[in-house]
Amino acid sequence: MSLGRRFARLTTNAVVRRPGLWRLFRGPLRRQFDRLAPQWDEIVTADHLAGFERALEQVEPPPRRALDLGTGTGDGAFAVARRFPEAEVVGIDLAGSMIEAARRKMAPGLADRLRFEVGDASALPFEDGAFQLVTLANMIPFFDELARVVAPGGFVVFGFSGGSGTPIYVDPTRLRVELERRGFTQFAELEVGRGTSFLARKAGSG
């Protein structure tokens, strides 16, 4: 595992255990992904969202609004927008260079319902319960903020492109414990090729 990949794993493990440590890791991780942005689409494999997209198939009813956290160059947000053609989709990433790349990839037909913004997933600029679906592909979860913005009856989808070998990876047992504590009651684990995904639904009507 390269130095950058090891740092991503170290950051993930530390922040999932102690979210307050994010303030120490945020700047270095943002700079790392800003540097990676120009070649990111050449680094990722063609099937890097296979598990993620399989989990999206389980989301029913379709969301009216969806949020893709750690969107990078936008592939997760584009997948959500394709899967749910009536949904308004927002992609958020800490790295401005990643967001610039995502905006450049925007298909004209999506511009009226998909937007990309620079933002920090630990402090989101959205009201409580704003989204019926929140997705994270290879992304560090901030569980309190995640639970806050998911509407009752809404879904959260995690995708890990290389399963447990993904640098930014959280074990499904940990995901379930953290989400159950915050009002999520339905869970599913899926595997597609090397990829894995995890789906959870928040209690309440949606």
Q: Which region, left, alpha or beta, applies to residue 29 given φ > 0 means left and ψ of -120 to 50 means alpha? A: alpha
167 pLDDT more than 80: yes
Residue 52 identity: F
Judged on CB neighbours under 10 Å (0-12, 13-18, 19+), 148 is: middle
Q: Rounded to whole angstroms, how far apart are CA atoms 174 and 32? A: 26
pLDDT band at 206 (very low <50, low <70, confident <90, very high): very low
User: How many whole angstroms from its chain centre is CA 24?
Assistant: 21
Per the DSSP assignment, residues forming a β-bridge with 114 are 89
Structure tokens at 24: 């120490």
Give per-residue pLDDT as tens, 13-24: 999 999 999 999
Give per-residue pLDDT as tens, 73-107: 999 999 999 999 999 999 999 999 999 999 999 98
Give per-residue pLDDT as tens, 34-63: 999 999 988 888 889 999 999 999 999 999
Q: Rounded to whole angstroms, how far apart are CA atoms 11 and 111? A: 33
Q: Rounded to whole angstroms, how far apart are CA atoms 135 and 158? A: 6
Segment (H or E) for 133: strand 131-137
Prior bond to 61 cis, omega within 30? yes
> What residue ranges do the domains of the chain occupy?
3-202
145 and 157 in contact (C-beta within 8 Å)? no
Per the DSSP assignment, residues forming a β-bridge with 136 are 69, 158
In CATH, the architecture of 3-202 is 3-Layer(aba) Sandwich (3.40)
- pLDDT for 205 equals 63
- Tell me how crowded residue 21 is: count the other CB atoms within 10 A of its CB: 13
